[in-house]
Amino acid sequence: MTGVDSEGSENADPSAEGGSDPPSRVLVVRGSRAFVLAPGETQETDLGVIELPADVRPGTVVETHLGEPFEVRRLRGPDLFDHLERTGAPMMPRDIGLVIGHTGVAAGDRALDAGTGTGVLAAYLGRLGVGVTTYERDPEFADVARENMATAGVTDRVDVRTGDLTDELDALADGVERADSGYDLLTLDTGDAAAAAERANDLLAPGGFLAVYSPFVESARECVEAARSAGLAEIETLETIQRRMDFDDRGSRPSTAGVGHTGYLVFARFLPDVG
């Protein structure tokens, strides 16, 4: 098997899309076939065996032992959503986008998360350069999430801990007080999120955000009440609904295939009164 660039020449320019160091994972694509692979990994396909070079670069083309070409792409967020191992229903990209856009979380920020699950939210945040500490109660789910963080290339930024965040609230709050440095973002996706939301003022840095995802409006209401009792400000709840558009020869209209509801997002902010 030979690695060539997208123009057909050998040894593509390493700076074209992959930087000086090979990526930890890439997406190898041919039509509807897509595989997330590590450099040097082997993948059997119906078009032959792919032996990925150890120095593979996004933007190149590799061939199977039968001479069938596959494109190598940089792994992006939507690819992670499609290819990470699932341990349940992950947070949808539309909800993750609201969390990121609403809170403005960015590189260098610190996030505390509960309800890791598959780890899609943690992976997205880690790829933004956010330092994430995330808690998952189920040990097997936590192990899968750690593997998913390796696939996403964010093990240096995402710390997956096995345990219940509510059991660690006192210790985490003490650590925030001693270091005088709270979290910039607290994200919760658990059935008892309200218990952690009540302590948000002990965990967040001034100006930091609380973001709670819930599939049920009753638990969203509980989190709103918890945020109020914690003295948080700018509390609001959003229902996430997204509709696809259909375009055909007859005309254009919203798709009739489902409502597009995924859940409720509660946002609040820690704005201590210094007056």
Domains assigned to the chain: 3-75 (3.10.330.20), 80-269 (3.40.50.150)
The rounded Cα 137 to chain-centroid distance in angstroms is 18
The stretch 142-167 carries a mean pLDDT of 96
pLDDT at 18: 44
Rounded to the nearest integer, the mean pLDDT of the chain is 90
Q: Is the pLDDT of residue 250 over 50?
A: yes
The stretch 206-231 carries a mean pLDDT of 96
3 state DSSP class of 195:
helix
At 168, the amino acid letter reads E
Q: Is the pLDDT of residue 22 over 80?
A: no
The stretch 170-175 carries a mean pLDDT of 93
> pLDDT tens digits for 93-115?
999 999 999 999 999 999 999 99
The stretch 27-51 carries a mean pLDDT of 95
Among 151, 160, 97, smallest CA distance to 128 is for 97
- Given pLDDT bands bounded at 50, 70 and 90, which one contains residue 21? low
The stretch 128-138 carries a mean pLDDT of 97
